Each structure stands twice: as C-alpha cells, then as structure tokens.
Chains A and B, each alone.
Chain A
Amino acid sequence: GAGVSQSPRYKVAKRGQDVALRCDPISGHVSLFWYQQALGQGPEFLTYFQNEAQLDKSGLPSDRFFAERPEGSVSTLKIQRTQQEDSAVYLCASSRGLASETQYFGPGTRLLVL
C-alpha cells in the first residue's frame, strides 16, 4: 500500500517568504507527527495531531510555524517569514491509532532558505 507522501520534496525560498509543506499520511492513520531534521542531526519533534485536533505543539520553534490538519487526513506545515535557520528537512510521520507506537515516516521536504 501507499506510504506517507510529502510535497514538495525540495523547496528553495528567499528569506522572508512564506512556505507551505504538505503531508499525506497513510490512509486511516489517526496520528500525525511533524519533525524537523537539521543536517547531520536526528529528527526533532515539532507537533502532533490526533485526527484534526492538534494535541501537542510544544516543539514548534516560534510563532512563525503553524500546522493544521482540518479534515483529519492531509496536514500542512506553514512557515511564515522564513529565516536561514529554518533550513532543514521537514519529516512527517503517521501511526495507526492511539497507543500504536510505530511511526511511519515520509521522505521529507528539504527546505533551503537563502
């Protein structure tokens, strides 16, 4: 079956531009996570959705970062007024349901802010 997909795969933005990154989780998966992976580092948690509810946004680095999942399936991570320090790979993961620990990751979106 289809895995987690993300688009675009690569994004180049000028400093100050807004960007939107899309995640299509595995069909039927209740839980959706966003992580940020800096070059040479492990992924770092950004935010968590359970269906359409954003239950944890403790990892979002600033109020320039905003995520939504309005219908409980596709999610969008938006970064406003991008800065060079936002350059990273943004990973989306989904898991089947509550107390289902296995997270399946997408290929990521590589964001470069110039």
Chain B
Amino acid sequence: GENVEQHPSTLSVQEGDSAVIKCTYSDSASNYFPWYKQELGKGPQLIIDIRSNVGEKKDQRIAVTLNKTAKHFSLHITETQPEDSAVYFCAASPMFSGGYNKLIFGAGTRLAVHP
C-alpha cells in the first residue's frame, strides 16, 4: 500500500521568509496530492492540491510542485506571516475502483513563523 514520508517535522522561520515542506510517496498509482493545514483544536483544512497530470500549481503565496518520476512533491509558502503557523500535512491517494480517494497522510510539519 501507499506510504508517505514528510520532512521536516518542525520548521521555524522569520516572518517574510519562505518555507518549504517536502513529501515522498511510494505508490506510483497515486494521482492526487492534497495539502492540509491544521490549527490547534480544529480539523484539517485543504489549502492546495495537485493532480498527477500537472507539475506545478500556485495560489497566491502558496505553491505545490510534483515530480512523478521521483515520487515527491513539495509545498512552498512565500512571504510567511504569523498566521501561517500551524501543522501542515501532505497526503497521497490513488483512485480506488469505487471512485473514491483514500488519503494517506504524512506525519505532519509543525511550522512556526516568528514576527
């Protein structure tokens, strides 16, 4: 089955700097790669996702890149702000025959943005 590794486990940056979180996956059949942000006491919130037919996607300060050959994908946050502080999870998923995506999550990255 699918296995997702996420690095680093913690990341501390100064406000305005960029942050990069990297994930690798094992199942070449995976075709959907979302990133979630989880704040304390809340459920994960989707911030961006990418599908296997796309190499890069950007939404304002957030971008995701996907390298299918190497089976890794990365989250890039530019011009970080204190409100970006949270735990970030990557996930990977193949499409199952029933037409659904079962998400396999990484262990998470705790991002701290210092003013």
Seen from chain A, the residues whose Cβ lies within 8 Å of a Cβ on chain B are: 4, 31, 33, 35, 40-45, 48, 50, 55-56, 91, 93, 95, 98-99, 101-108
B41 to chain A, nearest CB (A): 7
Interface size on B, residues (CB 8 A): 29
Task: Determine the chain A residues whose CB is within 8 A of the CB of B103 once the complex forms.
Answer: 33, 35, 43, 45, 103
CA gap between A99 and B98 in the complex, in Å: 9
- Please report the C-alpha to C-alpha distance between residue A55 and residue B96 in the assembled complex, in whole angstroms: 10
Contact of A55 among B51, B95, B100, B108 (CB under 8 A): B100
From B49, B95, B102, A99 is in contact (CB under 8 Å) with B95
Which of A101, A102, A104, A108 has its CB near the most chain B CB atoms (within 10 A)?
A101
- Residue pairs across A and B with Cβ atoms less than 8 A apart, 26 shown, are A31-B100, A33-B102, A41-B107, A42-B6, A42-B105, A42-B107, A43-B44, A43-B105, A48-B98, A48-B100, A48-B102, A50-B99, A50-B100, A56-B100, A56-B102, A95-B100, A95-B101, A98-B100, A99-B95, A99-B99, A101-B32, A101-B49, A103-B46, A105-B36, A105-B45, A107-B41
* Contact call A4/B43, Cβ cutoff below 8 A: yes
Contacting residues of chain B (79-115) with chain A, CB-CB under 8 angstroms: 89, 91, 93, 95-96, 98-108
CB distance from B35 to the nearest CB of A (A): 12
Decide: A102 near B46, CB < 8 A? Known: A56-B98, A56-B102: yes
Docked Cα-Cα span, A106 to B103, in Å, equals: 15
Query: A-B contact count, CB below 8 Å?
Result: 71
Contacts of A41 in B (CB 8 A): 107-108
Cα-based distance from A33 to B44 in the complex (angstroms): 13
Taken together as a complex, chains A and B put the C-alpha atoms of A105 and B96 apart, in Å, by 20
- Write out the residue numbers on chain B whose beta carbons fall within 8 Å of the beta carbon of A101: 32, 34, 49, 51, 93, 101
Residues from chain B with a CB closer than 8 A to the CB of A55 are 98, 100
Closest 7 CB pairs of A and B: A42-B105, A105-B43, A98-B99, A55-B98, A101-B101, A101-B32, A105-B44
Contact residues in A for B61 (Cβ distance below 8 Å)? none
